[in-house]
Chains A and B, each alone.
Chain A
Amino acid sequence: MSVTPGDGFGDGGGRLIRPYSLTGGRTRPSRSDFAMTSQVVAVPMMRRAVELEPEHRAILVECARPASVAEISARVRLPLGVLRILLADLLDGGHVMVHESTWQRERPDAQTLRSVIDRIRAL
């Protein structure tokens, strides 16, 4: 099965760090892309992604259910900096979805904070 045109994986050549200048203008993965608490989930694949390295596959296994960047890092035993680069590959290839909470940018409102207090109390 052929690689989807334009997904940018054709020239991977086994390198951990691809030239991001060739992948839709993305530069190095930034912290804002993959905060430690950002939630990542694998997108179900209809085809076997031949372009993926073993490390990529290991990451996809760990985020079959939503997991944070930090959790994935702990489970696949890769330092955060390395993991972020591999996650950027997967995001570029459409293999994962990422959700960063608005709380990474701004404090939750009072109603949310009260709810958090109640729920901690109920733990």
Chain B
Amino acid sequence: MSDTAGVLPDALKILVAGGFGAGKTTLVAALSEVESLHTEELITAESIGVDDLLGVEAKTTTTVALDFGRISLDERTVIYMFGTPGQRRFSFMWEELAEGALGAIVLADTRRLEDCFETIDFFEQRQVPFIVAVNCFNGVRSHLPGDVRIALDVDSGVPVMLCDARERESVKRVMIELVSHVLELELSGA
């Protein structure tokens, strides 16, 4: 709606994906200018496979919470960072989250790298640009990015870096790495 374009800011959407406990909410909170917000979407039997409902207490509807944060770059530009549930049973949300996303940060916990596989597959299929950020708890760099790259089997063009999701400057570096990666793709015509 062009008549409102001069009034309302343009939004960029960045996804923060990763398994349960990988530090998504922490990473979003490290940079968000507002206290981390959360919204909900209803899960219905149509949203997810009937099989997936087994083990979810046989409920036919429930809700999934999405944590997100906001960063105003200037009066005209705002970034929203959405924590993206990594579990397969939330995959019905991935399509909507991916639509219009500038890119994604896959936050990896080296104790449970397998939690990243499904979201990485999804981003590759949907051609959502992504980088992998290995969250180093307690500052212990127990894994080298190269090892994680091999373990996750990501394309050589995908940046893999270490980060501390609690540290604002570290999260800024992750964000800059992601947008730089998107810029490279843009310049290469990908």
Whether A114 touches B41, Cβ cut-off 8 Å, given contacts A37-B80, A41-B7, A108-B12, is no
Residue pair B31, A37 in contact (C-beta under 8 Å): no
Residue A52 interfacial (CB < 8 Å): no
Q: Which of B49-57, B63-71, B155-163 contacts A (4 or more CB under 8 A)?
A: B63-71
Q: How many residues of B contact A (CB 8 A)?
A: 44
Min Cβ gap A98→B in Å is: 6
* Cβ-defined partner of B77 (8 Å) among A31, A97, A109, A116: A116
| Inter-chain pairs besides A99-B9, A119-B73, 5 sampled, C-beta below 8 Å | A74-B37, A80-B40, A100-B1, A104-B99, A116-B73
A-B contact pairs, 23 of them (CB 8 A): A36-B82, A37-B80, A38-B11, A41-B8, A66-B8, A68-B11, A68-B78, A70-B37, A70-B66, A74-B68, A79-B39, A79-B40, A79-B42, A79-B63, A80-B39, A97-B4, A98-B4, A100-B1, A101-B10, A120-B73, A120-B79, A121-B172, A123-B172
Number of A-B contacts (CB under 8 A): 122
Residue pair A116, B7 in contact (C-beta under 8 Å): no
The 9 lowest CB-CB distance pairs between A and B, nearest first, are A104-B100, A99-B8, A37-B11, A101-B10, A39-B8, A74-B37, A73-B39, A119-B73, A113-B183
Min Cβ gap B8→A in Å is: 4
